[in-house]
Structure 1
Amino acid sequence: MTSVVAAGGVSVTIRDVTDDAQTVLDRVVSDGVPGALAARSAQLWGPEAASDAARRLGWLDLPESSRSLLPRLADLDAAGLDRVVLAGMGGSSLAAEVITRTAGAELTVLDTTDPHQVAAAVRDRLERTLVVVSSKSGTTIETDSHRRIFEQAFRDAGITGAELSRRFVVVTDPGSPLEELGRRAGHQVVLADPDVGGRFSALSAFGLVPSALAGVDVAPLLDEAAALSPGLRQPYDNPGLALGAALGAATLSGMDRLVLADHGSGMAGFGDWAEQLIAESTGKDGKGLVPVVMEGVDAPGFEAADDALRFVLAGHPHAAGPAEDAGVSVCGPLGAQFLLWQYATAVACRVIGVNPFDQPNVQESKDNTAALLRGAGDGSAPMIVNAEPALVTGAVEIHAPPELLKGAKDLGSAFDALLAAVPNRGYLAVMAYLDRLGDAAAAELRPLLAARSAQTGGTTAPVTFGWGPRFLHSTGQYHKGGPQTGLFLQITGAVTEDVEVPGRPYTLKALQLAQAFGDLRALRSRDRPAVRVHLRDRAEGLDQMLRALKN
């Protein structure tokens, strides 16, 4: 059975997702979910989530409330500064990256602690650079490090006083330490809605400020979302409700993997934004959906994902071909899609029975990072880096329990052993603590591993890919809080150009390694199988890995 639900320029087509999808949809309607969301009810996700929900439903109002930001955006002083750098993590950067890429505007996004990537960003056109420092809490360690590094770079270049002050625009919540710091330093400060959580903040100041500074007209995004809003208040012909019911029903039926591919939507990088929203919202209490973002509908693993919920971001409501074969296809303009997926995720969390607004295991990795940094108080790398590898081949070291490698003697057999060890109905997560630009070839590991899995016979294992520490603010929550079905492949690399963090007793190299090892510690404390591959030479090591997978 196929159903098409459309409203406000958005169309959601659902094709035989699960037998009880309609039952779930009927139940959320009979439970009054659309009306409760329209009334901003904090009780929808149960009593334990009520305190979070009471201060996290402002995203429903953003299509209208964010219009008050537009005059402020027009008044921001960026004269002569035509290169915008966004320092932010997770919800503070992902939406702005989608908006600017979709619009074809240049925005340098720093959501990394890799010293090579940060050093390159600081060297690039510094005299024309404006830095947006974006953090809801105002204490994000990565973002604070970026701010310190850029401030020192500006000073070293002779940029001081009022000119230095205007080189930073601060986006944060009212009353945060970052607001106080920004005002004291004379920076331009834009306050975000405190009743909107980070991953629900696409249409708030976090998504709009850097996009507008990069030259995007953001008002149409609000218009697109506003056109959808009335449809989300209805019990029927509500695309957000239908999409949320499909997500929730699939999870209840044991289909806890969501395969997502673009097919002409025109929204650049939207899958990465949706990945964070869905994984971090649903992945807790041993439940949730893990999004598997693919390079396209022809990518290895998409057609083989018969036991996963297949999604296509389509360019047309009646798209044929891969969109016609998928379980769910969605089309619509970007502003409306942001609101649609947030609404659907909130509904899915109601169906699954989890709090969509917390992320308990994200903090755990942060705490582990802090502990490891304290242990490396002299700024050197944590001592765990000296652990003896289980296998060394060329520029690649593999650190893994013997039972995961099964006597592998080379990279090819090691990869085969890891793929064979992926739990039944599980997934392999590749987590690359590398330079997203300089080491971009690492992203090729995802489709190659998926193709290799298909060649080994049996069920093809879904393979996800994330750049560290970026994914810690995204799928990192699901990795530790979701079902125990993942196998984790972490990649670290030798650092040839370290960067000092002014005013802190550590460098970016130490911070990046502490984040990597802190996450490994969190995974292993839950008996989740994790392997670390260390590249003694990044380019050579990546080339070795790619060649081994292609053979």
Structure 2
Amino acid sequence: MTDTTASTPFEVHVPEPVARATAAALDRLVADRVASRLDAGDPTVWGPEAEAEASIRLGWVHADRVSAPLVDEILALRDELRGQGVDRVVLAGMGGSSLAPEVITIAAGVPLHVLDTTDPQQLRRVLDADIERTVLVVSSKSGSTLETDSQRRAYEAAFRAAGIDPAGRIVIVTDPGSPLEAWGHDHGCRVFTADPHVGGRYSALTAFGLVPSGLAGADIHGLLAEAGRALPGLLADDPANPALRLAAALGGRALATADRVDKFAVACADGGRLADLPAWIEQLVAESTGKQGVGVLPIAVAAGDLEVAAQGRTADVQPVAVADRTDAAAQAALPDAVWVTGPLGAQFVGWEVATAAMGLLLGIDPFDQPDVESAKAAARTLLEHPVEETPALLTDGTLTVSAPGEFGPVAEAATLADALAALFDQLDDTLGYVAVQVYADRIGLGDLVSRRDALARALGRPVTFGWGPRFLHSTGQYHKGGPAEGVFLQLTRVSDDPLAIPERPFGFARLIRAQATGDAQVLAGHDLPVLRIESTDDAGLARALDTAVTAARSRRSGPRD
């Protein structure tokens, strides 16, 4: 038997064994009136230490109403730009500023070119195309995000080189009072200010999600309407509330001393319009819950790999399927999965409420991100004061292997396979996971993601896959602040591309390498095992991952020679 509720456009179906195991967590969420207190904007839900932050972070709860006046303004600008022949929308943004618009536009089937990277190869793909038809949306809550500022500088120079006035082609989305707002007004750009009482990862239905999506042609009015229809059921103190049931199902066993389930694999069940939603869920939950040594780790996977997770090969991982509508046959095929169905606007608010509720179960503040800044600071230090890098352990053709902190026997590795096997030897077979982090062109090298599934199968353990520096604004918080269960394989494409960042003493190639190096140093500083592999060509990255799969299979088949 499966518990269900169809009272809202957002539905959650929880398998009976999971519902029984997490019933106490659901009872607590209802008894503590989490939903109605969210509705009332009560910042005391998460305790006194979180109250100051929560008091300025609950604007998302009613973003459907607050954001409604923006719609006509956005659509008017879209029509104005199209009247000028400007119909190609590029978004410069990181984390919540880019993931939600990407999900929205993919679901709507409209093009949006997302710059959430500092990789020069990927940047050139967008910079060098159709600039006469391009409008750039520069999106940053703080107004000082290094990646976004660098992308804005590069595009401003490109507009000028093409004889185009940047003022008419750059649209700013930021918080009021930020340096970016001042820059936009000073330079005559169109400026949209967002609700400052919404954190970046909860901003899907604010100006950060709506401006680039609406300019690209998505139905943002319909998106807000979907959220509005779902909210009454999500803000009710009722055990049938689907968001509370989702929070209990995913967070109710994360702190258990035995039979702990502190991870979930999430996939779009039908590969349809919500295909990119798992990446947004991954950021929302990982950055919100991974801190103070606890957390719930979401792992965005392909639909086929969800079937592997549902077969119980990793007992600490709960399979979760998302879809825009209920499909009884598909649910019957994956009976052990938690099913989350509903249109995109309802999915956004449903997962946001569930994530905030998980914060109560875990005893943490779901709105701060105390460990995100550490990698940024390390990268800035390396850019301003370059230091001697960690000596290479070995080279293998175009690959150079190093290990900050020199954990375990890796210092004695004679081959790439030995080094990878030494990394995997640090993996806990009960609760551990591997994080693959690739600093490279995610558009041109997108097929690398398929190796994640193969590596997870070979290890018999969960594997996350993050594109750098994008993941630093997402799962990066969990990796440093959550449970110390991860081992880290960092792959970096070292580039000699001279793509400059105007008015900066460094270019994009140096910036992305500093970001990778800095993050590895921070992870090692947390006593986490990190293996770094740098490649001077694209093929080397695929070869490194293929070797990792082979090393993982050898680890499971028996002792190495």
Deviations 1:249-282 (CA, angstroms, capped at 9, x unpaired): 0212231111112211630210100000000000
Residue 543 and residue 529 in structure 1: after superposition, are their counterparts in 2 closer, same or farther (change >3 A)?
A: closer
- Structure 1 runs not aligned, ≥5 long: 377-381, 454-459
Q: Is the 8 A contact 2:307 2:334 kept in 1?
A: no
Aligned equivalent of 1:277 = 284
Q: Is the 8 A contact 1:301 1:450 kept in 2?
A: no
Q: Is the 8 A contact 1:488 1:531 kept in 2?
A: yes
Which among 424, 443, 447 is matched to residue 437 of structure 1?
443
Aligned equivalent of 1:379 = none
Q: Is the 8 A contact 2:105 2:218 kept in 1?
A: yes
Aligned equivalents of 2:172, 2:290: Cα separation in 1: 30
Residue 247 and residue 18 in structure 1: after superposition, are their counterparts in 2 closer, same or farther (change >3 A)?
A: same
Report deviation, 1:412.
4.1
Counterpart of 1:533, as a letter, is I
Q: Is the 8 A contact 1:287 1:482 kept in 2?
A: yes
Aligned equivalent of 1:259 = 265
Counterpart of 1:419, as a letter, is F
Residue 58 and residue 64 in structure 1: after superposition, are their counterparts in 2 closer, same or farther (change >3 A)?
A: same
Report deviation, 1:547.
6.3
Which among 389, 393, 397 is matched to residue 390 of structure 1?
393
Aligned equivalents of 2:188, 2:37: Cα separation in 1: 43
In the alignment, is residue 354 of structure 1 matched against residue 364 of structure 2?
Answer: yes
Report deviation, 1:318.
4.5
Residue 298 and residue 489 in structure 1: after superposition, are their counterparts in 2 closer, same or farther (change >3 A)?
A: closer
Aligned equivalents of 1:547, 1:372: Cα separation in 2: 30
Report deviation, 1:158.
1.6
Aligned equivalent of 1:319 = 328
In the alignment, is residue 399 of structure 1 matched against residue 402 of structure 2?
Answer: yes
Q: Is the 8 A contact 2:14 2:338 kept in 1?
A: yes
Aligned equivalent of 1:309 = 318
Residue 18 and residue 486 in structure 1: after superposition, are their counterparts in 2 closer, same or farther (change >3 A)?
A: farther
Aligned equivalent of 1:456 = none
Which among 130, 134, 143 is matched to residue 148 of structure 2?
143
Residue 544 and residue 30 in structure 1: after superposition, are their counterparts in 2 closer, same or farther (change >3 A)?
A: closer
Aligned equivalents of 1:517, 1:13: Cα separation in 2: 43
Aligned equivalent of 1:521 = 521
Shifted more, 233-242 versus 407-416: the winner is 407-416
Aligned equivalent of 2:112 = 107
Report deviation, 1:295.
1.2
Q: CA RMSD in A?
A: 1.9
Aligned equivalent of 1:329 = 339
Aligned equivalents of 1:191, 1:168: Cα separation in 2: 14
Aligned equivalent of 1:373 = 383
Aligned equivalents of 1:5, 1:297: Cα separation in 2: 26
Aligned equivalent of 1:191 = 193
Aligned equivalents of 2:146, 2:454: Cα separation in 1: 33
Deviations 1:149-208 (CA, angstroms, capped at 9, x unpaired): 000111111223xxx211000000111110010011000111111111100000111111
Shifted more, 321-330 versus 347-356: the winner is 321-330
Aligned equivalents of 1:474, 1:351: Cα separation in 2: 21
- Structure 2 runs not aligned, ≥5 long: 554-561
Q: Is the 8 A contact 1:300 1:450 kept in 2?
A: no
Aligned equivalents of 2:392, 2:40: Cα separation in 1: 56
Q: Is the 8 A contact 2:141 2:175 kept in 1?
A: yes
Residue 547 and residue 525 in structure 1: after superposition, are their counterparts in 2 closer, same or farther (change >3 A)?
A: closer
Counterpart of 1:437, as a letter, is I
Aligned equivalents of 1:20, 1:451: Cα separation in 2: 27
Report deviation, 1:465.
0.2
Counterpart of 1:48, as a letter, is E
In the alignment, is residue 120 of structure 1 matched against residue 125 of structure 2?
Answer: yes
Aligned equivalents of 1:244, 1:269: Cα separation in 2: 21
Residue 406 and residue 368 in structure 1: after superposition, are their counterparts in 2 closer, same or farther (change >3 A)?
A: closer
SS at match of 1:6: coil
Q: Is the 8 A contact 2:283 2:475 kept in 1?
A: yes
SS at match of 1:251: coil
Aligned equivalent of 2:557 = none
Residue 245 and residue 105 in structure 1: after superposition, are their counterparts in 2 closer, same or farther (change >3 A)?
A: same
Report deviation, 1:337.
0.1
State how 1:224-243 maps to structure 2 within 5 Å. Answer: 224-236=226-238, 237-243=240-246
Deviations 1:110-164 (CA, angstroms, capped at 9, x unpaired): 000111111221101111111000000100000000000000111111223xxx2
Counterpart of 1:180, as a letter, is A
Residue 383 and residue 538 in structure 1: after superposition, are their counterparts in 2 closer, same or farther (change >3 A)?
A: farther
Which among 300, 304, 311 is matched to residue 297 of structure 1?
304
Counterpart of 1:205, as a letter, is A
Deviations 1:442-501 (CA, angstroms, capped at 9, x unpaired): 223311211221xxxxxx210000000100000000000000110011111120323111
Q: Is the 8 A contact 1:479 1:486 kept in 2?
A: yes
Q: Is the 8 A contact 1:250 1:309 kept in 2?
A: no
Aligned equivalents of 2:481, 2:535: Cα separation in 1: 29
Q: Is the 8 A contact 1:490 1:532 kept in 2?
A: yes
Counterpart of 1:334, as a letter, is L
SS at match of 2:67: helix
State how 1:488-527 maps to structure 2 within 5 Å. Answer: 488-527=488-527
Aligned equivalents of 1:544, 1:197: Cα separation in 2: 37
Aligned equivalents of 1:548, 1:395: Cα separation in 2: 16
Aligned equivalents of 1:205, 1:234: Cα separation in 2: 26
Residue 95 and residue 155 in structure 1: after superposition, are their counterparts in 2 closer, same or farther (change >3 A)?
A: same
Shifted more, 214-223 versus 77-86: the winner is 77-86
Aligned equivalents of 1:219, 1:419: Cα separation in 2: 48
Q: Is the 8 A contact 2:194 2:206 kept in 1?
A: yes
Aligned equivalent of 1:343 = 353
Aligned equivalents of 1:96, 1:103: Cα separation in 2: 10
Deviations 1:202-225 (CA, angstroms, capped at 9, x unpaired): 011111100111111211111110
Q: Is the 8 A contact 1:439 1:539 kept in 2?
A: no
Aligned equivalents of 2:305, 2:236: Cα separation in 1: 36
SS at match of 1:86: strand
Report deviation, 1:419.
2.6
Deviations 1:82-111 (CA, angstroms, capped at 9, x unpaired): 111100000101000000011111110000
TM-score (norm 1): 0.93
Aligned equivalent of 2:556 = none
Q: Is the 8 A contact 1:411 1:545 kept in 2?
A: no
Counterpart of 2:322, as a letter, is L
Counterpart of 2:9, as a letter, is G
Report deviation, 1:507.
0.9
Deviations 1:328-359 (CA, angstroms, capped at 9, x unpaired): 11111000000000000000101110001100
Counterpart of 1:56, as a letter, is R
Report deviation, 1:406.
7.8
Report deviation, 1:542.
2.1
Aligned equivalents of 1:544, 1:32: Cα separation in 2: 50
Across the two proteins, how many residue pairs are aligned to each other?
535
Residue 548 and residue 53 in structure 1: after superposition, are their counterparts in 2 closer, same or farther (change >3 A)?
A: closer
TM-score (norm 2): 0.91
SS at match of 2:374: helix
Give the share of equivalent positions with the same residue, in percent: 44
Aligned equivalent of 2:5 = 5
In the alignment, is residue 54 of structure 1 matched against residue 86 of structure 2?
Answer: no
Q: Is the 8 A contact 1:312 1:326 kept in 2?
A: no
Counterpart of 1:446, as a letter, is R
Aligned equivalent of 2:209 = 207
Q: Is the 8 A contact 2:494 2:513 kept in 1?
A: no
Aligned equivalent of 2:102 = 97
Q: Is the 8 A contact 2:423 2:530 kept in 1?
A: no
Counterpart of 1:241, as a letter, is L
